Amino acid sequence: MTATEETQDVPWGDVTPDAARRLMVAAVEAFAERGYHATTTRDIAGRAGMSPAALYIHYKTKEELLHKISTLGHTKAVNILASAADADGTAAERLAQAVRSFVIWHAGHHTTARVVQYELDALDAEHRAEVVQLRRQCDAAVRRILDDGVKSGEFEVPDIPGATLAVLSLCIDVARWFNVQGRRTPDEVGASYADLVLRMVGARPRS
């Protein structure tokens, strides 16, 4: 994880005290590099410059730490997509904003996003259900934009649930392949994906 990713626009910027935040940042780094199951509490504490016992002062278990990371990350996702869905403008404008912002976040914070999006099955049943509910809110925000676009005649989408899944999957997958050493910036990828999604839904000017 880069220093920029750690400090700018990350969902745990307000986590206190500092030790709890450092452990969360260390856990994200370790989970992304080794996977949740291969990571030990000793790994996390060591990356944070603490003793293993210090971790348990702030988090009862490794799973609780993942739950906190996942909840904060998915809340950020909901806020990004709901903000676009609630914005002024045409359905096409709102869909472009949703995709662009969602992709930029997944590219700019790809280490964090990989943990948030791909370690869901490591959560216990209760915590997984909480995160699934947040994912449903993401789905609902995108589905609302698509539904508005179909009703206004801007989009041609015969299968709105399927299109919603396709849009979200396309955006989320950016976290898996994005490379900060690559040729394109997060903003460039966001703009490209927004254009791609508009073409995918057959966007056209509202009459």
**Whole-number Å distance between alpha carbons of 4 and 103:** 17
56: which residues sit within 8 A by CB, 6+ positions away? 41
Average pLDDT value for the chain: 91
Name residue, tokens 């964090």: 112
What pLDDT is attached to residue 9? 58
Q: How confident is the model at residue 6 (pLDDT cuts 50, 70, 90)?
A: very low
Provide the percentage of residues in the chain whose pLDDT is more than 70: 93
Q: How confident is the model at residue 207 (pLDDT cuts 50, 70, 90)?
A: low
Going 26 to 27 to 30 to 32, the CA torsion angle's sign is negative
**Whole-number Å distance between alpha carbons of 84 and 133:** 19
Task: Flag whether pLDDT at 78 surpasses 90.
Answer: yes
Name residue, tokens 């460039």: 188
Q: Which pLDDT tens digit goes with each residue over 144-160?
A: 999 999 999 999 999 99
Task: Flag whether pLDDT at 3 surpasses 50.
Answer: no
Greater model confidence, 201 or 6: 201
Task: Flag whether pLDDT at 206 surpasses 90.
Answer: no
Lowest mean pLDDT among 42-51, 117-126, 174-183: 174-183
**Whole-number Å distance between alpha carbons of 152 and 149:** 5
Work out the average pLDDT over 43-59: 92
Task: Flag whether pLDDT at 1 surpasses 90.
Answer: no
**Whole-number Å distance between alpha carbons of 1 and 161:** 34
Q: What tokens were used for 173?
A: 């997958």
Give a three-class secondary structure readout of the chain.
CCHHHHHCCCCCCCCCCHHHHHHHHHHHHHHHHHCCCCCCHHHHHHHCCCCHHHHHHHCCCHHHHHHHHHHHHHHHHHHHHHHHHHCCCCHHHHHHHHHHHHHHHHHHCHHHHHHHHHCHHHCCHHHHHHHHHHHHHHHHHHHHHHHHHHHHCCCCCCCHHHHHHHHHHHHHCHHHHCCCCCCCCHHHHHHHHHHHHHHHCCCCCCC
Task: Flag whether pLDDT at 182 surpasses 90.
Answer: no
Q: What is the pTM of this model?
A: 0.89
Q: How confident is the model at residue 121 (pLDDT cuts 50, 70, 90)?
A: very high
What pLDDT is attached to residue 15? 86
CA angle 190, 135, 173 (to 5 degrees): 35
